[in-house]
Amino acid sequence: MKSLRKIARNVLLKKRCYPRWVLEKKIFPSLKNKKILLVGVADYTKDYPKILKYNDVTTIDLNPYAAEFGAKKHIIGNISNVKIKEKFDVIIMFGILNWGLDYEEDAENALKNCYNILNNNGLLIIGWNPKKENHNKINPRTLKNFRMFQPIDLFGIGSGNIIKGDFIFEFLIRKD
């Protein structure tokens, strides 16, 4: 039986941080058995490798001090230029665009790099907030390399739509 603490966290998360609730409760469970690269870690994401126990999870963060929050397989590096030989089924960039990935050229390179390390028909998920104050506002759809991907609808949310909490998910399939 779920502990009361877990239930309370779930209710609060849905109410106060709906996009993260979507990530944890809708997106993660749908990715069973996929090989996943999670971009950017923090203390509040340190349990993600445990939640994704049916997945092969790698994490990456450019900040070496964030490594303690990463998965067993963790890379210290920048998603814009890191060289990885492995390929992934899914790459998740939640809270990265305009949260460290702040310049158009870097964002273009990140899309290209994700393309290169995704399997054919692999899925790139970008979660970003178009209204966050004091942050750049790069819209992934204005990037040239966005065309390397096909947006698809998932979870009844749709790619590129604003959801509760002024947040946008892009669900992008790597074109062959």
Ligand X SMILES: C[S@@+](CC[C@H](N)C(=O)[O-])C[C@H]1O[C@@H](n2cnc3c(N)ncnc32)[C@H](O)[C@@H]1O
Catalog residues that contact ligand X under the rule CB under 6 A: 39-40, 42, 45, 60-63, 66, 78-80, 94-96, 99-101
- Decide whether 95 or 140 has the Cβ nearer to ligand X: 95
- Decide whether 79 or 111 has the Cβ nearer to ligand X: 79
Within 8 A by CB and 6+ apart from 93, the residues are 39, 40, 79, 101, 110, 114, 124, 125, 126, 127
Q: What DSSP character marks residue 143?
A: S
Whether the Cβ atoms of residue 84 and residue 74 lie closer than 8 Å to each other: no
Minimum gap (Å) between residue 4 Cβ and ligand X: 25
- Decide whether 63 or 150 has the Cβ nearer to ligand X: 63
Minimum gap (Å) between residue 37 Cβ and ligand X: 10
Minimum gap (Å) between residue 103 Cβ and ligand X: 10
Minimum gap (Å) between residue 71 Cβ and ligand X: 12
| Residue 49: other Cβ atoms inside 10 A | 21
Q: Where are the alpha helices (DSSP H) in 17-171?
A: 18-21, 48-51, 104-117
- Decide whether 111 or 121 has the Cβ nearer to ligand X: 111
